[in-house]
A = this chain, B = another copy of it.
């Protein structure tokens, strides 16, 4: 499958039937996942706030994990070293286990895992990895999914805006900095990682209002100001306080933000349309740079080398 086909498959992914079935009797959730698989947990934590959600991005799990913990291991390949170690530790402590994966070791360790289709880059399977969480915890339903599909479809029918933004980044050799807004702050991190993996360029993310306590002091006087390209991700749920902050920050720092808006009325539609726009921009930038967006050979080499050191 070409990378562009993976992007376009998002609509299809939205209609994936699988979902997590939360057990009873847990009082906190721990989600382990790295990189493209880890994003699903970050998005879930942005949206779900019925119980504390702790993210694990390493081999280690927190001490509090016990039989009152619902531990969800997310790894598209099913073979992510950190996630498998964390899962092993959580099992030993008696946590309730759930999982989302396309196969690998994870599928055999967790028989009741939600199994998603194979053949994608983990980061392209973001619909498959996220929907089972959102649906399983009752955060989205049929209406929102239908709206999201419709809005994603509109983006697919005319991608010229995203190509133009990629051309701007390309012609100025800019480093993208992406600022997110509550409650979808983690989308800025998603964008950053897509620029890293697809376009092979450094990129950094932050979130309003926190960045108003640090980045803001740098924006005006920093070295190399013209070498960064600032995005701000807004959506239907971005509040007035934040919109004011964006405007005032731009004025005081003499920075022009490129505003990327979520589409539609529902949180789900806003969420996935913002993701989709970033996927296109990072893909077009990769093609302009004549680099293969699917190439993650350095990450693969690193994994091989790490295994040799064990």
Residues of A with Cβ closer than 8 Å to B? 27-28, 34-36, 38, 49-54, 57-60, 62-64, 82, 173-175, 177, 182-183, 192-193, 195-197, 199-204, 207, 209-210, 212-225, 227-228, 241, 244-245, 248-249, 252-253, 289, 291, 295-296, 298-299, 301-302, 305-306, 309
Contacts and interface: CB of A to CB of B under 8 A. Distances in A.
Contacts of A182: 58, 60
Q: A199, A225, A295 — which one has the most chain B CB atoms within 10 A of its CB? A: A199
A210 B49 CA distance: 24
Given A52-B54, A200-B218, A202-B215, A59 B241 contact: yes
5 contacts: A35-B210, A49-B63, A245-B302, A245-B306, A248-B306
Query: In the assembly, how many copies of this chain are there?
Result: 2
A42 B219 CA distance: 24
Contacts of A248: 302, 305-306, 309
Given A201-B223, A222-B201, A291-B221, A34 B213 contact: yes
Given A35-B214, A202-B218, A299-B213, A223 B64 contact: no
A306 B35 contact: no
Contacts of A222: 175, 200-202
Contact of A197 (B214, B220, B249): B214
B202 A249 contact: no
Given A200-B220, A209-B57, A64 B51 contact: yes
A62 to B, nearest CB: 4
Contacts of A210: 34-35, 38, 57-58
A64 B50 contact: yes
A210 B52 CA distance: 22
